[in-house]
Amino acid sequence: MPTPNALTLQQMILRLKQYWGERGCIIQEPFDMEVGAGTMCPETFLRVLGPKPYRTAYVQPSRRPADGRYGDNPNRLYKHMQLQVILKPTPADVIEQYMGSLEAIGIDLRKHDIKLEEDNWESPTLGAWGVGWQVMLDGLEITQFTYFQQCGGIDLDLIPAEITYGIERLTAFLQGVDSLYDIEWTPGVTYRDVRYTDELQYSVYNFEAANVPVLWKLFDIHESEAKRLIDDYDKTARYPLLAAYDHVLKCSNLFNTLDARGAISVTERVGVIGRVRRLAVGVAEAWVDQQAVVAAAAEVAA
């Protein structure tokens, strides 16, 4: 039964952005490339590296080709939205702040049941891991909370907290709807109206239409471009490592699509993950070095 007066999807996003903006976060717009999770965006992957404090929050549409269900399954999406918050370093009252954000979107926590249950996170393709929890609200997982420990194979100088809200789930919970497609995006417009076609067409593409040899070719092209850029890194502040990372992300998404297409055999799988990981680690290492170069230059200038 839908809950009257609940926030719409877009109101909820606006409130969360407002909340974190007031707490010192740079409010970023979504990264303009296809990624599997908000973590992969440079705003997280690169910014958590090195000794520089940073706070940001952004919504990131996240693509998981294998999770597509042609728009048929009420709870699965090819592309869902994550609201990603990075607090580096982690403030001591981080959990209190997080709970405050739930109050800000209209959840009276005194009337609900909230639990933090152990859930650690690891991404072999990014060489990253952390420990944390899934946050359960009345039995629903609404947030993934992670203290990053390593990224791109590098131990982090300052431990950031990563708070990832599942926007669709959280809204469906607030609105009391059973199917993600029935979420009210804004009055009179449902999630189905906005996103159904995406779900259907990308499911068709990922499971049926994608041309496997072409995707492999694209993978190789992006890999070689990323590799060239990593290999030629010249320790200057102007060197385009961000562009190198774009190509790494392309590889990651192509890998996910090929995987959903059933085009990656058992024996290949580990190898391909390793190829993406090497690129991610390469960019991360160069990035840390470049940041040190930038910091040293700034010191000399001062």
Partner 1 sequence: MNLLLEIGCEEIPDWMLAGALEHLSAALGELTKNLRPADAAIRTDATPRRLVVRAEGLIARQPDSEERVWGPAKSAPAPAVAGFAKKQGVDPAQLEILSDGKAEKYSYLRKIAGRATTEILAEALPQLILKTPFPKTMLWPGKGGARFIRPIRWVVALLDNQVIPFEIADVKSGNESSGHRKLGAYRFHVTYENFEDQLRANFVILSAEERKKRIRAVPTKYKCDTDLLDTLVNLTEWPTPITGNFDPEFLNLPAEVLATVMKVHQKFFSVVGPDGKDGQLAPKFVAVTNTDGDPDGLIVRGNENVLRSRFKDAQFFWDADQKRKLSERVADLANVTFQAKLGSYLEKTNRTVALVKELGGNANAERAALLAKSDLTTELVKEFTELQGVVGGLYAKAQGEPEEVATAIYDHYKPVSMDGDIPRGQTAQLAAIADKLDTLRGCFSVGMIPSGSKDPFALRRAAQGIVKIVVEGKLRLPIRQLLGGDAALEEFFFDRVRYYFREIRGFKYDEVNAVLAASSADLVDIDERLTALQQVRPTADFEPLAAAFKRISNILRQSGLSGEGIAVNPALLEAGPETTLYQRFTAVADELRGLPDYASKLERIASLRPAVDHFFDKVMVNVENPDVRQNRLALLYSVLTGFSTIADFSEIVTTSQENK
Does position 149 bind partner 1 by CB under 8 A? yes
Long-range residue pairs from 15-22, CB within 8 A, at least 24 positions apart, any chain: 15/104, 15/105, 16/57, 16/83, 16/101, 16/104, 16/105, 16/165, 17/57, 17/59, 17/83, 18/104, 19/100, 19/101, 19/104, 20/55, 20/57, 20/85, 20/101, 21/57
Q: How far is the CB of 280 from partner 1 (least distance, A)?
A: 21
DSSP for 281-294 reads HHHHHHHHHHHHHH
Does position 114 bind partner 1 by CB under 8 A? yes
Angle (deg, nearest 10), helices 266-301 and 241-260: 160
Does position 208 bind partner 1 by CB under 8 A? no
Per-residue binding string, partner 1, 271-300, x by CB under 8 A, is: ------------------------------
Residues 29-88 that bind partner 1 (CB under 8 A): 72-75
Name the amino acid, one letter, at 244.
Answer: A
Query: Taking contact as CB under 8 A, which single stretch among the options 39-47, 171-179, 238-246, 287-295 is the one that binds partner 1?
Result: 171-179
Does position 238 bind partner 1 by CB under 8 A? no
Q: Which is nearer to partner 1, 71 or 248 (CB)?
A: 71
Q: Which is nearer to partner 1, 30 or 74 (CB)?
A: 74
Q: Binding residues for partner 1, per CB under 8 A?
A: 72-75, 89-90, 92, 95-96, 99, 109-118, 120, 130-131, 133, 137-140, 147, 149, 155-159, 173, 176, 178, 262, 265-267, 269-270
